[in-house]
A = this chain, B = another copy of it.
Amino acid sequence: LIRERGIASVSIADVMGAVDLTVGGFYRHFDSKEALVSEAIEAASLETVGEMTLPSHGSQGPAEFRAAVARYVSRDHIADPGRGCPVAALAAEAAREAKATRAAMQRAVGRVVAMLEADGPKTKRERRRMFTALSTAVGAVILGRVLKGTRIGDELVASVRAELLEGD
């Protein structure tokens, strides 16, 4: 719900309503809205990284990397933020939130980096390419979402996808 609508636009009543409960009960489970948001980012991050890593346990080859990119920079991911990467959906908003939320988002990014590093040590050049590819993928999903339904949006997503998949 938060990934779909953003942190500020989801109320506790929305969250509780979505599981057919009433607002009052919320505080049996979380100390505050901020605690919920932090845990939600954490959970979504684990889920997303888990899906990306799924086929091979830990050691990722270039084929797995390409498959992950193809799933990340895709029409499906762009069309369904609610089930997608919390970094793409919420990074900009989380950067303006209180400490706990920012920290959760920093951990989420860290987890992606750790996943990309999982197949052993990298040269400086490889690390640079890794950070660049990550920025490109996140940027493309965010831009793809705001441009959804426009010609330029389709071209941008197709371009980035092809560029990342071809290596360079």
Which of chain B's residues has its CB closest to A151's CB?
Answer: B110
Q: Name the one of B130, B147, B168 contacting A109, with C-beta atoms under 8 angstroms.
A: B147
- 7 residue pairs, one from A and one from B, having the closest CB atoms: A139-B139, A135-B139, A131-B159, A8-B8, A135-B140, A128-B159, A95-B146
Q: A92-B90, A146-B109 given as contacts; is B135 within 8 A of A156 (CB)?
A: yes
Count A-side interface residues using an 8 Å CB cutoff: 50
- Please give, as numbers and ranges, the residues of chain B lying within 8 Å of A160 by CB-CB distance: 128, 131-132, 135
Roughly how many angstroms separate A163 CA and B164 CA in the complex, as a whole number?
A: 14
Roughly how many angstroms separate A95 CA and B136 CA in the complex, as a whole number?
A: 18
- Min CB distance, A126 to chain B, in Å? 10
Type the 1/0 row for A52-81, where 1 means its CB is closer than 8 Å to any CB of B.
Answer: 000000000000000000000000000000
Q: In the complex, are the beta carbons of B92 and A163 less than 8 A apart?
A: no
Q: In the complex, are the beta carbons of B143 and A155 less than 8 A apart?
A: no
Which of chain B's residues has its CB closest to A6's CB?
Answer: B96
Q: In the complex, are the beta carbons of A146 and B91 less than 8 A apart?
A: yes
Q: In the complex, are the beta carbons of A131 and B146 less than 8 A apart?
A: no
**Chain B CB within 10 A, most for which of A128, A148, A152, A155:** A128
Which of chain B's residues has its CB closest to A130's CB?
Answer: B159
